[in-house]
Amino acid sequence: MSRTHVVIFGTGGLATVFGARLARGGSRVTLVGSWPDALARIPRDGLTIVEQEGSWSAQAEAVHIDSTLPQGDVVLVLVKSGATTRVAPRVKAAADDAVVATLQNGLGNRETLEAVLGRSVVQGVTTVGATLLGPAVARAFPGRVSLGRDADIVANLFRKAGLDVDVTPEIEALLWRKLAVNCAINPLSALLGVPNGALLEDEETRGQLVAAAREVGAVAEARGVVLGVDPAALALEVARTTADNRSSMLQDLLRGAPTEIEALCGAVVREGSRLRVATPVNARLLDEVRHREVSVVS
């Protein structure tokens, strides 16, 4: 029986972690991207994961996104949210008969992919953490994966890879919970250049974190999404439990890469405007990260 072929769009930290776990679980894995160093290293050295217990590697394949793409049985989209529109046609090229799933941050990724593919895409949310240490090398942090409708094939594949997985009808609420956490932690940590836990040490910064999360909760409520938790309390708890982590947005700014601010605070501000919900803290964070991105690039 042939191995399940998983095609992963992305060569960043999360793509490296999921690719390695899936490969170790028995799947054939191909990463698709444009980072020359990663594309060169993966076929030679595989994907290397650093964990508390030690490091390990798993063999994988890699192809450039502009080359002829292999067909996957499952296609997993893990690129930054700002790249979704650009890669969606290439996802379609690799997914004739494949189940397509996204675990990306922010809003709108599934809808963008579905518009191009012309069919449904599995929505997922993950708390698995990843810090990119170099091309095809990442530090992994424990977490779980939640998947929405029509997700049995992906869920079984993830379980085989040793991932903690659940399938839930409440995926929209989980997506907005994670959005509240990301909008509260990522921009502040990136702008201040500090790990997550440091945001709790200053009263003013802590107040901004709480306010940003509650604005996201207010927008979700206006959309009819029931979070089931206090988004501010959730953001504070995540900041505590990931105190030593550097957020993905901080990692992006440090290496001069575009951030996901538009799919996070930007999406909240736009949806808040549509629903007439005030989002001044998210708007300010959006503007400040945009300015920092321009400064870094220039």
CA pair distance 19, 10, nearest whole angstrom:
10
Span 187-216, pLDDT tens digits: 999 999 999 999 999 999 999 999 999 999
In the chain, what are the domain boundaries? Answer: 5-167, 171-297
183 near 208, Cβ under 8 Å? Answer: no
CA pair distance 51, 140, nearest whole angstrom:
6
Compute the mean pLDDT over every residue in the chain, rounded to the nearest whole number: 95
The pLDDT value given to residue 147: 98
φ, ψ of residue 31 to 5 degrees: the values are: -95, 140
Strands 137-141 and 47-51 come out as: parallel
CA pair distance 293, 253, nearest whole angstrom:
7
Structure tokens at 33: 């991207």
Q: pLDDT band for 116, please (50, 70, 90 cuts).
A: very high
Tokens 């505590």, residue located:
240
The pLDDT value given to residue 298: 47
Span 153-186, pLDDT tens digits: 999 999 999 999 999 999 999 999 999 999 999 9
- Per-residue pLDDT for 297 more than 60? no
Mean pLDDT of 33-62: 96
The pLDDT value given to residue 139: 93
The pLDDT value given to residue 296: 59
Q: pLDDT band for 128, please (50, 70, 90 cuts).
A: very high
13 near 131, Cβ under 8 Å? Answer: yes
In the chain, % of residues over pLDDT 70: 99
The pLDDT value given to residue 275: 98
- Per-residue pLDDT for 41 more than 70? yes
Indicate the residue type of 225: V
- Per-residue pLDDT for 114 more than 80? yes
Tokens 């869920």, residue located:
155
- Per-residue pLDDT for 95 more than 80? yes
Span 61-76, pLDDT tens digits: 999 999 999 999 999 9
- Per-residue pLDDT for 77 more than 80? yes
Give, rounded to a whole angstrom, the gap between the first and last alpha carbons of the chain. Answer: 52
Span 249-270, pLDDT tens digits: 998 999 898 999 999 999 999 9
- Per-residue pLDDT for 2 more than 90? no
Superfamily of domain 5-167: NAD(P)-binding Rossmann-like Domain (3.40.50.720)
Mean pLDDT of 90-112: 96
Superfamily of domain 171-297: N-(1-d-carboxylethyl)-l-norvaline Dehydrogenase; domain 2 (1.10.1040.10)
121 near 101, Cβ under 8 Å? Answer: yes
Residues assigned a catalytic role: 178
